[in-house]
Structures are given as C-alpha cells and as structure tokens.
C-alpha cells in the first residue's frame, strides 16, 4: 500500500521563526525557487536530493541541512518511498546575510546534538504554551549554527562575492515591483539593456530565470499571508497573481499542496493531501 502524501504548516508566535513546515512526500518535486528566510531541514525518513548554487547535494542520514536565503534550490525524493521532513524557516535575526556564503559552501551539517535540539524545538513549537522553552531551544540552535559557519568566514580561499551588474539591478527591480509586476520589455527599457541579455545575465548570476524568481517570491509571500488567516482569493490578489486559480497552480507546484489545504493544516498533525 502506498503511503499518502501529507503536509502541515503553521507560524508560531516565536520571534525568529517565520514558518514551521512538516511534510511527507512520495513523488512531489520542488522546482527551482528561492526563499527570503533560512531553511533549516531535518529528514526523518527517506532522503532528499537537491541542487544548490549549481551543485548537487543530499540529506545523508542524521544530518542537518541549512539552505540560505536568496540562493535558488530545488528538491526531489531520493528514495522510492519518498521522504518525511521537518523544516524551520528562520529570519535574518537568527543568522545574518554574512553567513550565506559559508552555508552555500557546505549546507549539510553532521552534528547529532544540533539535530536532537532541532527535533526538540519542533516538539515545543507544536504546543503554544511552551513558548519560553521554544525560545530557549531556538537560541541554542542559532548559536550552534553560527559556530559551524563562523570559521568558514575567515577562510583565505573563500571566493569573493561577484561584482554587481545588471543581474543584481534587475533583481532589485523585480523585488520592488513584486506585487504589480514588471514586463521584460519595461525592465529592459529601465535598465538600458536588451531583454535577451537581461534573461541570460540573471540566469547566469543566480541560477534561476527571472520569471521563476518572481513566482517563488510571490508564493513565499502567499504562504505568510495564508498562515495569518487571509482568504485565498484575497491572498492571490495581494501577491500579484492573476486570480485564485493562478495562485493555486503555482502554489501546488512549489509547496506540494493547495493554498486552501495549506491554510487549514493544524500544527499537531500531518494532513493527508
């Protein structure tokens, strides 16, 4: 008998935690996308393979995966029976942007104590009355993550950040116009560049096409609004999608469930898809 896929998501009232996401997927594959938060991932069963910064990675047994914000990645099952995962999305108060490069260099952390602490934090976050415990556990986890990444900051062979160019300027424009949108022709006119050059430069710099970047950013915003209790149709309009069906199509592809099911998931159990 094939196990049903399931998902649960919620936003706890704990500073620093943007979202908690639990899922069991057997076939769902994430397209290339970005987050504006840190992705702290543990896999309880099965395994995930993913590409980050054009390099293939996986989730070896008992490791912790830390994927930085603004760096495109995808994900798919690495076993026939899929995977069961627990994810924390952490904001930049826990890890600032200086740690993005070190995390790209080595997203897998073999640290049993860190993994155990993350598991206990997930348990605390499932119970609203355990806020002080959750805050305490999060503080220890963030400190340990910084301890892993900080030594890499001073490496003499660490690559220098790429020089800013039209790709970075386009990303700033896309971020500024995320809700209203901007056409490629308009962007080319504003940035004094050929449309084809914009697409190629952006894709080469960030490993994701401009339209994929915009869609994933909009889906990420939709997740936050849905968890805040906003109606799906209202969220679609507020995040730049044409209508509810447009949001639903992209949301299911990126998250593995529909916006309606995502918003209704309780924090104490996984809900079948």
For 227-249, what is each residue's pLDDT tens digit?
999 999 999 999 999 999 999 99
Both tokens assigned to 84: 């069961």
129 lies in the same domain as 59: yes
Give the integer Cα–Cα distance in Å for 144 and 225. 30
Find the DSSP H helices in the chain.
100-105, 112-125, 131-153, 166-176, 184-191, 195-206, 210-227, 232-238, 244-255, 259-264
9, 21 contact by CB (below 8 A): yes
Question: Which residue, of 153, 178, 212, is where some domain finishes?
Answer: 153
16 lies in the same domain as 139: yes
Residue 190 has pLDDT above 70, yes or no: yes
The confidence band for 2, taking pLDDT boundaries of 50, 70 and 90, is: very low
Percent of the chain with pLDDT over 90: 82
**244: domain CATH number?**
1.10.10.60
**46: domain CATH number?**
2.60.120.10
262, 270 contact by CB (below 8 A): no
State pLDDT tens for residues 76-134.
999 888 999 999 999 999 999 999 999 999 999 999 999 999 999 999 999 888 899 99
Residue 270 has pLDDT above 80, yes or no: no
138 lies in the same domain as 186: no
Give the integer Cα–Cα distance in Å for 250 and 88. 22
pTM of the model as a whole: 0.89
11 lies in the same domain as 130: yes
Range of the domain at 221: 166-272
Q: Is 127 helix (H, G, I), strand (E, B) or coil?
A: coil
């Amino acid at each position: 008998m094939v196990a049903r896929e399931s998902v649960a998501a919620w936003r706890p009232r704990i500073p620093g935690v943007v979202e908690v996401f639990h899922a069991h997927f057997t076939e769902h594959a994430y397209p290339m996308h970005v987050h504006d938060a840190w992705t702290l991932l543990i896999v309880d069963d099965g395994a995930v393979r993913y590409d980050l910064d054009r390099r293939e990675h996986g989730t070896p047994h008992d490791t912790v995966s830390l994927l930085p914000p603004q760096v495109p990645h995808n994900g798919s099952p690495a076993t026939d029976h899929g995977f069961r995962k627990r994810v924390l999305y952490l904001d930049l108060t826990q890890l600032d942007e200086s740690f993005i490069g070190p995390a790209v260099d080595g997203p897998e952390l073999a640290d049993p104590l860190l993994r155990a602490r993350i598991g206990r934090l997930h348990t605390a976050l499932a119970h609203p009355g355990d806020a002080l415990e959750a805050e305490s556990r999060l503080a220890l986890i963030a400190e340990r993550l910084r301890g892993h990444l900080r030594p890499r900051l001073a490496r003499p062979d660490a690559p220098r950040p790429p020089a800013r160019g039209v790709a970075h300027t386009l990303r700033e424009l896309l971020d500024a116009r995320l809700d209203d949108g901007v056409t490629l022709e308009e962007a080319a006119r504003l940035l004094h560049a050929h449309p084809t050059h914009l697409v190629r430069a952006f894709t080469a710099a960030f490993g994701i096409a401009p339209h994929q970047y915009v869609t994933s950013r909009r889906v990420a915003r939709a997740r936050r609004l849905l968890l805040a209790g906003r109606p799906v149709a209202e969220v679609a309009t507020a995040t730049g999608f044409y209508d509810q069906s447009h949001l639903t199509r992209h949301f299911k592809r990126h998250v593995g469930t529909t916006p309606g099911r995502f918003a209704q998931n309780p924090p104490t159990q996984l809900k079948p898809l």
